[in-house]
Amino acid sequence: MNPDSEQLSLLGTDEPVHRPASDAVRLLLFNAQHASPERSRRQAEWIAGQEGADIVVLTEVSSTRGGDALVAALTECGYAAVIAPQPSTPDYRTVIACRTSAARAVPSPVTVTPHRAPVARVTVGGHDIAVAGLYVPSRGPKDQRNVAKRAFQEAVTGSLPQLLAAFPDMPVIVAGDLNVTEPGHQPAHKVFGKWEYDFYDSFEAAGLTDAFRHLHPDKIAHSWFGRTGNGFRFDHIFVSARHVARVLACDYHQEAREAGLTDHAVMTLRLGLPSTPGEQGETSATGPG
């Protein structure tokens, strides 16, 4: 893919409600739930109003009018760079929006439906970080059960070492809707197979750490709820293991879901940065700045 064709720069847009932080990476993960144009605009306004949404990873964004409206609304709300890959055929995609203009798309190492796995290089407080977004396909119709899901998961698993190798000296953040839970999830869900749990485990094997589990090893949390009310932790944020000690906060928030803007909980991350550029390889920290 051509990164230049995926990125929209914001010329003549509104000033953002909040200024981007310079002492920490503040990231928000939001499932757009293939919203209509009207709901997409409300989603963008809500996101822009969140102080911690300097970088936003949006999953389940349509490739039609609703998705285009969301991208346009994010730019109008002051996001200075919006990386919005467009699939060659109708499909869901993942979008990365940044309040800072110091962000650019880079080629995704995921070769299967790469529009679901964009990658951005973003400068925050003089430090470069890499952000990858993921939207794993659902299980699919009966005649194609798990075909697209398994192909994409296998492609992601194979690409994770490449992703980390491409950015060896900077924090790497991978955020998205994996459409799978972790091993030992509470409650247990028999619908998932070993190959799906293996996919979750492949992040740790590649050198990435589940940021929420790092801070909350025993906490039960859910980001999506089925028709019977059973909860699933589908949405995840991973941070390169060598930088995970800089994770200051990682949580789920239900307000947007309860307001009907999405059917998923919103997830947030706050990652502290070194006080001076060039210290990104440190593996311990007391906080930002």
Neighbours of 50 (CB within 10 A): 19
Distance CA 175, CA 29 (A): 7
Q: What is the pLDDT of residues 119-174, one digit of tens each?
A: 999 999 999 999 999 999 986 656 565 789 999 999 999 999 999 999 999 999 99
Pairing of strands 208-210, 103-106: unpaired
- As averages over each run of 10 residues, the pLDDT of the chain (289 residues) reads 44 68 97 96 97 97 96 97 95 97 97 97 97 88 74 97 96 95 69 79 97 93 78 91 97 94 96 66 37
Report H helices in the chain.
3-6, 37-48, 65-76, 147-166, 194-206, 211-215, 255-258
pLDDT of residue 159: 98
Tell me the HSE value of 94 on the side-chain side, using a 13 A CA sphere: 29
* Residue 187 preceded by cis peptide, ω within 30: yes
pLDDT of residue 286: 34
pLDDT of residue 199: 92
Phi, psi angles (nearest 5°) of residue 227: -65, -30
Pairing of strands 24-31, 55-61: parallel
Q: How far is CA 35 from CA 88, 92, 252, 256, in A?
A: 20, 11, 21, 13
pLDDT of residue 196: 82
Q: In the block, which residue shows the tokens 């709300």? A: 77
Provide the residue ranges of all domains of the chain, joining segments of one domain with +: 3-272
Q: What is the pLDDT of residues 211-238, one digit of tens each?
A: 999 999 988 888 778 777 778 788 999 9
pLDDT of residue 13: 53
pLDDT of residue 91: 96
pLDDT of residue 275: 65
pLDDT of residue 94: 98
pLDDT of residue 277: 46
Which CATH number applies to 3-272: 3.30.1330.80, 3.40.50.150, 3.60.10.10, 3.40.630.30? Answer: 3.60.10.10
